[in-house]
Structure 1
Amino acid sequence: MSEGGTIKVTEGSLVLKSKLEDGLYTLAGSTIVGSANASAVQVSNDDKERLWNMRLSHMSACELEMLSNRNLLKDEKINTFEFCEHCILGKQKKVSFNTGKHKIGGLLDYIHSDLWGPSKLPSKGVKRHLLTFIDDFSRKV
């Protein structure tokens, strides 16, 4: 509906008002949301499945289908739903490191070292780096 350079778009309970500026309609104000009549709005089956997936913290399709079969989702049937990027990103995990494959028989057979520095503040001996050696067998530094 258009009147005096302002256009009003409504869908269900959603109302958007825009005004004409320099040949473009820009959103005037903010979105106004009222109460919705659920019977008046037609939602596709894919949208219902996606909505339940989001409501239940991106639960797997198998678990959603199990809830649907038990009639726990307001009598809505959930079969499968489209690809969900949030589901994939939420299920990523770090790849673990392999365990070390070295054999140690005694002291000083395997040594770990680390060099740290430079430090902004020098030590009492005017040094700015630190070198450590750790024996793998005894764990002595």
Structure 2
Amino acid sequence: AQEQKTGPSTRAPPHPPKIPPPSLTGDCGDPDYEIIEFPPNRSQNHEPNVRKSLDQAKCALCGGLNLFARCDTCRENFCEACDDMNHKHPKRRGHTRRRIVTQDTSCRTRPPLPPKGEPQATPPVPPPRRNRRNTQ
């Protein structure tokens, strides 16, 4: 069963603290851990350059290796799909992008089309038609 209070409550609600905790003021105060800075090492100077060149060989959004363009404003490389999607936004539409041409992309270029003015020797032969009644 439930207990019922027999008398009026004599306790007043607690007053809020006059100074808000540091997390609410935006000042987190001193960190709970000690920050240790190491002196630069000669071997460490070369590692960031290697990592930077490896990161530049990937799409900034999806991480794909099939790079299409580099945006000078974003300072990032993008594959074709991510470049198209990212730079359709009105804020990024005016960014200047340069096409990335590598040996892989230059090998995939299509051969030139024949000139329009010259007729072909023989027109292409269409494939035989299928009878719709026989294909079920």
Which band: TM-score by shorter chain?
under 0.3
Q: TM-score, normalised by structure 1?
A: 0.24
Whose helix fraction is larger, Structure 1's or Structure 2's?
2
Relative to total residues, which structure has the larger strand share, 1 or 2?
Answer: 1
